[in-house]
Structure formats: C-alpha cells, structure tokens
C-alpha cells in the first residue's frame, strides 16, 4: 500500500478523515524544508514546492498507509480542483504521495495566503477561529 502525506481535512479529527476507510496512521511527520504552505480561502491548505529565492519550511502532517482503491475511489475524488497528486520529500529524505498545489490551475492572485510561518494547518485554523 502506498504512503500518503495528509496535512488538511483528512487528518485525524478532520471532516474528511472518514474517506481513509480506516487506513492505518504511520505517524506524524514533517516535510523536508522545500515547501511553501498556503491557505486557499481558509478552506484547505496547499503545499507548494519552494521556488526561487523563497525559503522553504517543514510542514506538519500525518502519514497514512492507504490502499490504492481508497486513494483512487474515495480520497482523490474529494480533493479540490486547486490540488493534484504529487510526490514530496519528507524530513527524513524519503518520498511519499501528497496533494500539492496544481500548477495548471488558473486562480485569482489573492486566492492563496502564505501561511508558511505556521507550517501546520491545525495551528493556522485554530488561530483563525480564535481571532
């Protein structure tokens, strides 16, 4: 079964967690420091490979051992159009599947808010809800 890095609504306690069909949690992990982290309209996060002179961060997420059928039939169809399946690098140097910002998606300039300073969707969402 493939490992899938999740950093939004499909994490434990999230509104999309049920889509994992009981896939086992491998652990709480971080990405390699090669990514920027965005909020898309405060609806969901978007992981984006660090480009140019910007400094990447280690984004917090959960790693799951997901069946291919679950990935294909449940998880991927629920993902927003702004994201696509990709391969990322974790802090320990291993690669894994993850949803990343879609390069070909035409979004308005202000659609993405850089929340890389948080590097954790739950921390960002808690701060946004509290303030």
- Domains annotated for the chain, with CATH where assigned, are 3-130 (3.10.490.10)
CA distance 21 to 2: 14
Q: What is the pLDDT of residues 55-89, one digit of tens each?
A: 899 999 999 999 999 999 999 999 999 999 999 99
Q: What is the pLDDT of residues 14-55, one digit of tens each?
A: 999 999 999 999 999 999 999 999 999 899 999 998 765 668
Grade residue 129 by pLDDT with cuts at 50, 70 and 90.
confident
CA distance 71 to 91: 23
């Amino acid at each position: 079964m493939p490992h899938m890095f999740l950093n939004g609504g499909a994490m434990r306690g999230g509104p999309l967690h049920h889509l994992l069909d009981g896939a086992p949690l491998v652990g709480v992990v971080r990405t390699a420091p090669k990514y920027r982290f965005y909020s898309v309209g405060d609806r969901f996060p978007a992981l984006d490979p660090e480009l140019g002179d910007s400094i990447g961060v280690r984004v917090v997420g959960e790693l799951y051992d997901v069946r291919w059928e679950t990935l294909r039939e449940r998880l991927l169809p629920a993902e927003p159009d702004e994201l696509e399946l990709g391969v990322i690098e974790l802090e320990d140097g291993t690669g894994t599947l993850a949803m990343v910002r879609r390069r070909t998606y035409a979004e308005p300039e202000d659609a993405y808010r850089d929340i890389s300073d948080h590097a954790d969707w739950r921390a960002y969402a808690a701060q946004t809800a509290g303030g």
